Amino acid sequence: MLCHPTCLRQPPNAGRRGAVPDRAMWQNRAVRQWCRAATCERSPSGGDPVASLRDVAARANVSFQTVSKVLNGKGAVAPATRQRIIEAAEDIGYIPNALARSLQSRSSLTLGVITVDFSNATPALSLVGIEREARQHGLSVILSSLEPDGSDCVRYLRVLMERRVDGIIMNAPAAEEDEEVGRLLRAGPPAVSLHDIAGGGVPLVTAEPEATAALPIRHLIALGHRRIGVVTGLQQRHSAQHRTAVYREVLAEHGLPYDPLLVEDGSWEVEGGYAATHRLLDRASGITAIYVQNDLMAVGVLNALHERGLSVPGDCSVVGCDDHPVAARTIPPLTTVRMPFADAGAAAVRLLLERIASTSPKDVVLPVSMVYRASTASAPASRAARN
């Protein structure tokens, strides 16, 4: 029931192909021949004339509607005719035109994704999850990636609407405050998002926001750390803001003071983490642990610490976030929070399918978990690390 409406007549996960035996038969050969429609004399101007239903019909001496029936396994057709048609389709190298089909069926079997630049592993993982899940439901993915400033999101939304996508998945933190985007997503085709949408009204897939920050902070506090530095992601982003807020709350829960001097923006990037760490240690003393809001920045943090001759975790513990593939082999291997990026992508597709099925589904919250490795240890006896 998670399947796209127009898929419903077919077995799940079969997409559009393979479901109908006849179709499976002819398409294997057909696919090898793109425009070998030699029997197709009508060649409108320049472009490759690709075989159409009519061409198949002509070759099989039937009307093209009958061909349509056979190739879609719909109405009843005489076995002999059916056979002729299938052979004709194979011979001619017929490949159905999804555009025309969509025009008629009012469903493009296509899903639009608007994503933050995915050079970084984490959005890429979500995208991989989306694409895989979509594919398994027989949906194609149209990809639009945003420039860092997140402007022209509205333009891409429009393109997706023009292409009549059946649904939209947003993975664009840069657009989370854009009211116009919010309006469009509420008024346009069904949508779900991996990040907040201004004005709400769009189903969300998130990873336990509280735990994501609370787990690592509690871990550090349990190890005896009292002055915990924070290297944040872009501070405009809700997720970064929220994680920092949770950091404050957990500190408060344990009766620890909040010191704004301990918080620095690392902008999600390796170099940002590196620079933020130096700034942090230059101006604040007594830091024995650093909470880094993603693993990429943590790589920079480890490097900066190393440059300063501080050992990890001896002098300073480090906790990351994401469980990026490199986290397992940094020096030392990074204690971090495992985030379910690929799962979130897949969940988003399923949620979108529910949304398309006209219900107004509930948000999905995915669990996160700690991965304990070697970058964290008890706070050093002397409470002030040398820095």
Partner DNA sequence: CTGTTAGCGCATTCAC
Partner DNA sequence: GTGAATGCGCTAACAG
CB 186 within 8 A of CB 199: yes
Which 272-291 residues touch a copy of itself, going by CB under 8 A?
273-274
Instruction: Provide, rounded to whole angstroms, the least separation between the CB of residue 136 and DNA.
Output: 21
Residues in 85-104 that interact with DNA by CB under 7 A: 96-97, 100-101, 103-104
Residue 386 contacts a copy of itself per CB under 8 A: no
Rounded to the nearest whole angstrom, what is the least distance from the CB of residue 150 to a copy of itself in the complex? 14
Which pair of structure tokens corresponds to residue 308?
């300063």
Q: Which stretch binds DNA (CB under 7 A): 59-67, 193-201, 248-256, 357-365?
A: 59-67
Stretch that binds a copy of itself, among 60-68, 135-143, 229-237, 283-291 (CB under 8 A): 135-143
Q: Helix, strand, coil proportions of the chain in percent (round to 5)?
A: 45, 15, 45
Q: For residue 33, give the nearest of 86, 87, 95 by alpha carbon.
A: 95
Six-digit token string for 182: 């919010």
64-72 vs 53-60: helix crossing angle, rounded to 10 = 100
At 141 the three-state DSSP class reads strand
Residues in the chain: 387
As given in the structure block, the two tokens for residue 5 are: 């409406």
- Cβ atoms of 274 and 303 within 8 Å: the answer is yes
Which of a copy of itself, DNA, none binds 274 (CB below 5-8 Å, type-dependent)?
a copy of itself
Residues 296-315, interacting with a copy of itself (CB under 8 A):
296, 299-300, 302-303, 306
CA distance 186 to 178: 13
49 binds DNA (CB under 7 A): yes
Q: Smallest distance from the beta carbon of 196 to a copy of itself, in angstroms? A: 20
> Does residue 98 interact with a copy of itself by CB under 8 A?
yes
Toward DNA, which CB reaches closer, 52 or 330? 52
Minimum Å gap between C-beta 358 and a copy of itself is: 9
- What is the rounded CA–CA span in Å between residue 229 and residue 318? 9
Interface mask toward a copy of itself for 33-62; x: CB under 8 A: xxxx-------x--xx-x------------
Closest CB 354 distance from DNA, rounded Å: 23
Torsion angle in degrees (nearest 10) through CA of 336, 241, 206, 137 = -100
